Structure 1
Amino acid sequence: NMLTILGLFLNVLTGWVLATGHLLVGGILVLFSGWFDMLDGALARLTHKTSRFGALLDSTVDRLAEAAVFLGLILFYADRGDTFEIALAYAAIIGSLMVSYARARAEGLGLKGEVGIFARPERIVLLALGLVLTEVSLTALTVVLWILAIGANLTAFQRLFYVWKQSR
């Protein structure tokens, strides 16, 4: 659980780095914190210290971590007056949260909800790529935000449809 909490602080730091306009460093931190997030669960399994509370904490912290990173992006764009990119980042975080919520809710109903191509690892890698590519063009990040906003929301609806089919 300690690694999970440390990961949250790392993501809050990442959000701050993004808000201050250091997008390349933010992209590297997004990848590092994503790797760090996978490490906490793997370590718990390896040491046989998994728990239901640990799983809940990890899922909750993952949502907070994503929100912190996207808040950093929103603040970056707000400082520049880029309202369109703010809306894209908002749509991307809403989609990301709904992807996770749809899966969690499905599992709470005893159904499977793991379908879709925009699960968290894919979103992390894509966002990091967009941030790193800002060294070439800031437009790259706008394109990535479009992809994330559409892809995450479509994945959430895909999960809803998948659960609906299971429940019939």
Structure 2
Amino acid sequence: MISSLRPTLGRAITEPFIRLMARAKIQPNALTVMGLALNCLTGWVLATEHLLVGGILVLFSAWFDMLDGALARLLHRTSRFGALLDSTVDRLSEAAVFLGLILFYANRGDVFELSLTYAAIIGSLMVSYARARAEGLGLKGEIGVFARPERIILLALGLFLTEVSLTALEVVLWVLAVGAHLTAFHRLFYVWQQSRRGRS
């Protein structure tokens, strides 16, 4: 899926910018923290009902999130702490964006849509956790359709379509909530299969 194309696409759209950042002596971990701030801003924009602008920021934030790792590799400054910081900030960033949507629906009194958004963020976090826990056990966990790039693109699409109908975002949240949970369980099943093969 989109995740498999990420390395190639990432290099194409980040390389000119990371070279400028390297010359400016910007540190990779500083970019990671800046990315979190940008996602918090995105959440605030969504909470204040600027959904189209929020959709643009979701995509821009996703592009920005690729810069820290690319810069670290260019400068040969990859580290275990940097990888942990990046993964942690990714989860916080995703939560911040969905929190913005939760506040948006709370302000409108839309309890069902609020609950749907909550289900989507729980599923999204479980997808990431299942992979991280599997890899911590020495097993493979990167499998399934609804990895983070796919979730970001779907969410941005839903936000853009609110210019036509707010129902479009609700449909996207349904897809995200169900798809993310299915992907998390798919990863659990995949890890279970690996563990059984390891015992045989």
Segments of structure 2 that go 5 or more residues without pairing to the other structure are 1-28
1:74-113 alignment to 2 at 5 Å?
74-113=102-141
Distance (Å, rounded) in 1 between the aligned partners of 2:184 and 2:144: 8
The Cα of 1:39 is off from its aligned counterpart by 1.6
Distance (Å, rounded) in 2 between the aligned partners of 1:105 and 1:149: 21
Which of 178, 181, 184 lines up with 1:150 in the alignment?
Answer: 178
- Count of residue pairs brought into register by the alignment: 168
Distance (Å, rounded) in 2 between the aligned partners of 1:91 and 1:36: 26
Per-residue CA deviations over 1:83-130 (Å, capped at 9, x if unaligned) read 111111001000010000000000000000000010001101110110
The Cα of 1:42 is off from its aligned counterpart by 1.4
Distance (Å, rounded) in 2 between the aligned partners of 1:126 and 1:120: 10
- TM-score for both structures, normalised by structure 1: 0.99
State the structure with bigger RCO (CA 8 A, min sep 6), 1 or 2. Answer: 1
Which of 121, 137, 143 lines up with 1:115 in the alignment?
Answer: 143
TM superposition outliers: structure 1 runs of 4+ over 6 Å:
none
- TM-score for both structures, normalised by structure 2: 0.83
Distance (Å, rounded) in 1 between the aligned partners of 2:76 and 2:160: 36
Segments of structure 1 that go 5 or more residues without pairing to the other structure are none
Distance (Å, rounded) in 1 between the aligned partners of 2:159 and 2:149: 15
Identity level (%)? 85
The Cα of 1:55 is off from its aligned counterpart by 0.4
Flag the structure with larger Rg: 2
Which of 28, 34, 44 lines up with 1:6 in the alignment?
Answer: 34
Alignment RMSD: 0.6
Per-residue CA deviations over 1:140-162 (Å, capped at 9, x if unaligned) read 10000000000111000000000
Distance (Å, rounded) in 1 between the aligned partners of 2:67 and 2:145: 22
Give the secondary structure class of the aligned counterpart of 1:32: helix
Which of 7, 12, 20 lines up with 2:48 in the alignment?
Answer: 20
Distance (Å, rounded) in 2 between the aligned partners of 1:88 and 1:37: 26
Distance (Å, rounded) in 2 between the aligned partners of 1:42 and 1:129: 26
